[in-house]
Amino acid sequence: MLRYAPSMDRLPNALGLLVVLLVGLGAVIVPDPPAPLGTDAPLGEFSAARAAEHIDVVAAEPRPLASPGHTAAREYLVGTLDDLGWDTTVQEGIGWFSPTDSPTRRGAALSNIVATLPGADPTGTVVLAAHYDTVTASPGASDDGIGIGTVLETARALSDGERPRNNVVVLLTDGEERGLLGARLFTAETPPFPGPMVVLNHEARGNAGMPLTFRISSPNADLVRILSQAPGALADSFTQTAFEALPNDTDFRRFDEAGLHGYDTAIAGGSAYYHTPLDTPDRLSRSSLQQMGDVALATARTLTVTDLTALDAGTDVVTTTPWGLLHYPRWVEVALTLALAAAVAALAVIRVRRRDASAGRIAGAAGVALFAAVAAGGAAFLPWWLSRRAVPGLGSVPIGEPYRPGFYQLAAVVAAAAVLTTVYVAVRRRFGAPAFAVGALMVVAVVALAGLPFLGVATPLVLIALPAALGVLVAEAIPQRRSRWRIVAMAAGLVPAALVAVPAVLASFDAGVTFGAPLAGAFVAVLFAVLLPLTAPLLPREGAAPFAVVGAFAVVACTLLGGYTNRDGATAPRQEELFYSLDADRGDAVWASPGRPRSDWSAELLTESPTPLPDRFPWRPGTSLAHGPAPVASLEPPRVEMLSDIESDGGRMVQLRLSSPRGAPTLGLWVDGATVRAATVDGSPVDPGANFGFVFTTASTDGIEVRLDLDTTGPAEDVEVRVADVTSNLSVVPGYTPPEDKVVVGPAVVVTRSVHP
């Protein structure tokens, strides 16, 4: 039996730990978001107050495609850019998107706003981008009002003074929320700007927090260098990889696919407000707006004087420190990761040689450490997940986030720490503390090596673990009797760990509590692993039960406090999702909502258990919807006018006009009993196929002209065309009384009917 006999008494260890944790705390507190500047700020600077004046106008009402608010916003934006003296045009076209979760194609008539300030001696073009459409019923003060405000105020500041060297374009895209349609239209028909283009795209997945440049096009070395000169810039290569796991996307994807250079910058705090009627100007953080604007203006200023043809081909890894951006070439990340692996291997050899641990024990401890890290991630996920299961109204409708996430975040961190401590104390005797400390570091090193194929994944692990491992190696070189100096060496090695890991735990929650908690749990596990050499003497050699019990109590307490701070009535109104569908053929109607009812109010409307309702909501054929009978509203169904119907080899060419007598901007059509060989809507081709269907949004009041080339092998009467039109005002339903303490997210009023052409 190996014996681990710490020769040092515990006080220096406790002091070392305290210093490390204080450094970590400082790393979280030091980054101070900028104070928003007023309307009297110097004209060469970005002023959140001036930017907010634009947001107040455009976010006065929702701006979904083809709505009055959408038109009003476009007119205001065009007028504002005209007043700046920029050459402003509206790029019109049709865009289509085929979602992966439904065979229904989604299309729209689009109007991008493109304004140009020609450069004095251009080498290329700098594009300031945001989208001006919103989802249904959301004023979109943050999504993407913060982008609109940032772009307009930056454009104003750039117009002030000397003409910039490069062209500058303001691009306010349309139809982003329908599948990045406007961005594709822009890149497909890019106006003739010679030379390279660099796009600064601005987004929001919440209404607060620090703007993070979470994606940069590749190769990125010059772009990273330019961004790092902007005060307050935050960027992270790791998030670029992590973002791909989230069910979100932005216009940046289309710009990147088209080969443009660019940055994608977004805020993600306050995500419970995202895509809801509560995304209002008064709730948008001015400090977030100021910081996004400061970075946009500084970056754009540099880019307007840079030779854009000379952007180099290097690839850098970038991460954020309390002092700004840290970036280095990709090979440095590889070298540092290999150095970590070597340092951990050296440590293992030393332990075995000194008979502190055997190879078998180190390997066994590594296995347990990996299990503990996974368990910590899972335990971090549970408090909020269980809370949402128990009380569905706690989470926002679009992405299931709480208004006040603080206690749920704390519960996640405490749960992870409790699991790690419990497992460690439970197995410590079996493996010995030295073996476990090396085994845990080994897991970090192996995960970093495994992450090497993905840019930036190894970096946070290496920045945390490499100095820590070196600190232990230095401590090992110091004689046992100088135990205080050994602790100083270990604590010094842990300072970078604290600077990176503690902010990383917090930053993980930028992905929301649902996705962020397991990631935060994983970072807690890494921090726990590197702290072990320092904390081992502070932890008991056996008796894990008290840690499990106290940890469980603390997690339950935090979770209950989360429930209390988010109790009904204590926060912004709770959210509901409610659709209404009238079947004009049968003369009956239903209420429906995805998932279970979220309150007593919706439970009264949604009396039937969830099931797909493909006839009522043809564009969501697979979505399970709780539903219930609804009053029949007197709504005229969509009109189908047959224009022509001619036989063509083995099928029929049908031409029809689909319109909405009730003025619905969104029209839908689905074909049953025939395969569609080709189709157009207002002359724009749509992907054909079996189970053909589309929804299309247009401001045109005459409806749309649809041409279908049908492959009809069965009898003609088997061919059925289902049509629908969609609005969003639920108060057209008799007796609908929206409760005052609820908001309805993404309301839809659908009228369906079938025709046999």
Measured from the CB atom, is 144 or 279 closer to Zn ion? 144
Measured from the CB atom, is 144 or 401 closer to Zn ion? 144
For residues 756 and 645, the answer to whether their CB atoms sit within 8 Å is no
Of 2-21, which residues contact Zn ion (CB under 5 A)?
none
Measured from the CB atom, is 143 or 401 closer to Zn ion? 143
Measured from the CB atom, is 144 or 725 closer to Zn ion? 144
Measured from the CB atom, is 248 or 321 closer to Zn ion? 248
Of 534-563, which residues contact Zn ion (CB under 5 A)?
none
Helix axis angle for 433-451 and 330-353, nearest 10°, is 160
CB contact set of 627 (below 8 Å; sequence gap of 6+): 590, 591, 592, 593, 606, 608, 610, 611, 613, 616
Measured from the CB atom, is 144 or 510 closer to Zn ion? 144
Measured from the CB atom, is 144 or 256 closer to Zn ion? 144
Instruction: Name the minimum Å distance from CB 511 to Zn ion.
Output: 16
Of 699-718, which residues contact Zn ion (CB under 5 A)?
none
Token match 């590197």: residue? Answer: 530
450 vs 375, 446, 568, 639, CA distance in Å?
20, 6, 45, 58
In this structure, which amino acid lies at residue 286?
R
603 vs 249, 566, 591, 610, 739, CA distance in Å?
33, 21, 11, 12, 13
Instruction: Name the minimum Å distance from CB 214 to Zn ion.
Output: 14
The Cα 345–Cα 447 span in angstroms is 14
Measured from the CB atom, is 116 or 142 closer to Zn ion? 142
Measured from the CB atom, is 144 or 153 closer to Zn ion? 144
Token match 């940069």: residue? Answer: 216
Residue 279 binds to Zn ion (criterion: CB under 5 A):
no
The Cα 298–Cα 461 span in angstroms is 31
Size of the site for Zn ion (CB under 5 A): 2
Measured from the CB atom, is 202 or 722 closer to Zn ion? 202
The Cα 386–Cα 1 span in angstroms is 43
Both tokens of 551, joined, read 């940890």
Candidates 367, 351, 372; CA nearest to 417 is 372
Instruction: Name the minimum Å distance from CB 528 to Zn ion.
Output: 37
Longest Cα–Cα distance of the chain, Å, equals 98
Token match 């205080």: residue? Answer: 484
Instruction: Name the minimum Å distance from CB 285 to Zn ion.
Output: 16
Of 86-145, which residues contact Zn ion (CB under 5 A)?
143-144
Q: Which residues pair with 107 in a beta bridge?
A: 96, 696
Instruction: Name the minimum Å distance from CB 140 to Zn ion.
Output: 8
Instruction: Name the minimum Å distance from CB 66 to Zn ion.
Output: 18
Instruction: Name the minimum Å distance from CB 171 to Zn ion.
Output: 14
Instruction: Name the minimum Å distance from CB 408 to Zn ion.
Output: 25
The closest residue (CB) to Zn ion is 143
Instruction: Name the minimum Å distance from CB 205 to Zn ion.
Output: 8
CB contact set of 250 (below 8 Å; sequence gap of 6+): 176, 180, 201, 203, 264, 266
Instruction: Name the minimum Å distance from CB 174 to Zn ion.
Output: 12
Torsion of CA 7, 11, 16, 18, to 10 degrees: 150
Q: List the x/- string, 134-153, binding to Zn ion by CB under 5 A.
A: ---------xx---------
Which spans of this chain sit near Zn ion (rule: CB under 5 A)? Answer: 143-144
